[in-house]
Structure 1
Amino acid sequence: MTQESLPETGPYTAPPLLDVPAVHPWRNVSRRSLTLALSVLPIVALINVGVLVWSLGGIDLSQRISRPELLGLAAALVFVPMLSNSLRLAIWARFLGVDLGFARALKVITGMMVANSVTPSATGGMPIKVLFLMGEGVPVRRALTLVSFQTAEDALVLFSLVGLCAGLSGFALFEFLGSDPVLWGRFSAGIRTTVLIAAMAAAGLVLIVAMVAGGVFGRRARNFAFRMVDTGREYVSHIVLDWGAALRHGKGAALINITLAGVQWLVRFSIAGLVLAAFGIDWQPVLFWLLQYLVQSISSIVPTPGGAGGAEAGFLFLFAPFVPVDVLVPAMSAWRLMFFYLPLTGAACLFFLLTRKIRIKLAAPAAPPQPAE
């Protein structure tokens, strides 16, 4: 099937593609990660609650938190990104003719959130999302297409918002870093370390590929690698075909999804500002949004489950110039609970309920046919 043979109107139906046997053993990886996550989540959440209580000491919360209604608003808004992401996934699935729906898309997103909580953030969430989509019966290639659509939207929206916030804040963060040689040295050293690690990883990958192609690991490994490369080329060609169909017929879906992505990321990185405002700090929405984005970027390269440790350290480092010391640690703990553990707990509950509902529906006996009158 070629792009010229696509229909001019109606939903795009991708050509069928045989599954790859090599991915079958990995179909249950997401379930195993989810089981581990559900076991570890309560323990980690209790530890974070302990840090919050310790940071508050004997201080009365009613005196520390000046605007508790903002904490309630933050507690409600933390679920917006999860719902928005699920709706985006369902819209693109419908465009591609994949029988997914909002409920099953929500199951994929919630399952991915819980599984990501016990996997290093540096590994990224895309492989886990693909696995959960496969678990819902979505073919591998279409799962990759769905993930590529959302990744492109996220990159476009995030880069636009980061540039806009940096400009509106007058580049205050960079001016602050430049005014302090010690902080600037640490910041630049962190950037250099990240670039060095990325370069070493890329060099190692190139070396492994060259060794496999040269037969260092044996003929069987080389033949298997060549088969996977051929399969990858086939997947890429079909994904390009899907992208071509989206450019021709999916402009409306893309516009809706980009708008939803904007809402998702605006809300997601505004939680820190709301929490700080609840503690009586003057709310600077643009600057605080940018700071939380940087905190999340730092935690995403930390090789710990859910970015644990990196998120807390990044928050303390980046918000320290704008938040009093006596508020910084309790606000950080409250933000971590709101931003990470509250939606994660909700996602775990939703995933359990959706899974149970689907199992009951599948186990229900079919209704006997009605006799003709």
Structure 2
Amino acid sequence: MTRRNKIALAIMFLVGVGIFAFSLRKIKLHALWNDLLHINLWWFAVAVLCMLLYLGLEGLIVKVFISSRISGFTFRDAVRVPAIEQLFNGITPFSTGGQPAQLIALMQAGVDGGRASSVLLMKFVVYQAMIVVNFIIALLIGFNYIVEKMHALALLVLFGFLIHLGVIIGLLLVMYWPRFTKKLVSLCLIPVGWFMKQERLDGIKRQLDEKLDNFYHESLRISHEWKMMAKIFLITFFQLLAYYLIPYFIMLALGYTHVNIVMVTCLHILIVIVISLFPIPGGSGGAEYSFEALFGSFITSSSKLVLAMLLWRILTYYLGMLSGLIALVIPPTKVQDSTDDK
């Protein structure tokens, strides 16, 4: 990690401590401590397992993609990728640092940069597609509840859906309409040319065209491997399901055994969409507020509501960043990536 990234990590931990302290301002500490002592450790262990399963299944997706072209790529190296992604997503606005960090992790393992970029983009396409599908289902089930509880949050949910849908459309254009995408990129670069020399602008355009071509050819190859893509979609479904179920198991751990698993899961899906709109790394502030606002009707005890939010945030945000810190100190095993067959 660079010095700048270490500073960002320290700042986000401090921000988290500040938000936790603010959430506890009206809570009696002895009540919170009592709730913590009486937590059902078995159900909480299941919640922890769900987060670990989420990371492990994403590692499996990376391995399936890479192993289809390169032999010797281990699961240990594959699982490093989502762990590092979690860390850099957590310390950058709008989670923009995750993709470059994954690319570096794969290149450290010996995967060619062009191939690694294509694999990560294909993984991202599948992930975004499944998010959109899950969101539509969750919207049909839980949107009326959000409108009833918080009108403004409902608008954010719809806006978040449009952004994710736009991302999917953009990626599909690259995959199946590369000429149009190149023209669109050229149009977008016109304002950029107002602030830099033509020679440098031409170099940027050549690099972008090369990346688009690489992604197009690799994605075309991968998309025709139906069995592998079906496996990727299936693994991604269970990966996201494990993540979305975390609040439900936290509620069971706190003694709320009669909550509706479908409604709780759908509300968590909608919260994840809202979090992606906040520019602060990790959606800090917005994530905690959304959780308390939506799950307040299920968790009637104020101390248990804050405890549920803290446990949820620790598992879904800080545990992921901790796994990334561990992954950074684990050296990858180099593979030999022959690019002749690209």
- Name the residue aligned to 2:53: 80
Change (3 A) 1:301 1:123: farther
Q: Which letter maps to 2:145?
A: F
Question: What CA deviation, in whole Å up to 9, does each residue of 1:257-297 have, x standing for no partner?
Answer: 22221221111111111112222233221111111122222
Query: Bigger shift: 226-235 or 50-59?
Result: 50-59
Q: Which has the higher contact order (CA 8 A, sep 6+)?
A: 2
- Summarize the Cα distance change of 1:241–1:343 in structure 2 as closer, same or farther, 3 Å threshold: closer
User: Which residue pairs with 1:174 in the alignment?
Assistant: 143
Q: Quick one: which amino acid aligns to residue 189 of structure 2?
A: V
Contact 2:85 2:97 in 1 (8 A): no
Match of 1:16 in 2: none
User: Secondary structure in 1 aligned to 2:30?
Assistant: coil
Give the 3-state SS of the residue equivalent to 2:31 in structure 1: coil
1:73–1:85 distance in 2 versus 1, CA, 3 Å: same
Q: Which runs of 5+ in 1 are unaligned?
A: 1-29, 360-373
Task: Give the 5 Å matches for 1:219-298.
Answer: 219-243=198-222, 246-247=223-224, 250-281=225-256, 282-298=258-274
Answering whether residue 305 of structure 2 is matched by residue 328 of structure 1, we say yes
What TM-score, normalized by structure 2, do the two folds share?
Answer: 0.76
CA separation of 1:207 and 1:179: change in aligned 2, threshold 3 A: same
Deviates more, 1:65-74 or 1:288-297: 65-74
Name the CA distance, whole Å, in 1 between partners of 2:315 and 2:273: 18
Equivalences, count? 312
**AA partner of residue 119 (structure 1):** T
Percent of residue pairs bearing the same amino acid type? 19
TM-score w.r.t. length of structure 1: 0.70
Tell me the alpha carbon deviations over residues 87-123 of structure 1, each in whole angstroms, 9 at most, x when there is no partner: 1101110102265321111222222222222111352
Query: Which of 301, 304, 307 does residue 277 from structure 2 map onto?
Result: 301
Hey, what does 1:128 align to over in structure 2? Answer: 101
Which ranges of structure 2 fall in alignment gaps of 5 or more residues? 171-184, 335-342
Segment drifting more, 109-118 vs 119-128: 119-128
Secondary structure in 2 matching 1:321:
coil
Contact residue 212 and residue 221 of structure 1 kept, 8 A = no
The two structures, once aligned, show a CA RMSD in angstroms of 3.6
- Between structure 1 and structure 2, the one with the greater Rg is 1
State the match for 1:162 in structure 2. 135
Q: 1:56 to 1:108 in 2, by over 3 A?
A: farther
Q: Alpha-carbon deviations, 1:300-323, whole Å to 9, x = none?
A: 221112221121122122223333
Which letter does structure 1 place at the counterpart of 2:249?
L
Q: SS at the partner of 1:155? A: helix
Q: Which moved more, 1:320-329 or 1:81-90?
A: 320-329
How far is the alpha carbon of 1:86 from its aligned partner? 0.6
Cα deviation digits, residues 61-95 of structure 1 (max 9, x gap): 44564534211221232211111111110111010
Matches within 5 A, 1:198-213: 209-212=189-192
Q: Cα distance, 1:132 vs. partner?
A: 2.4
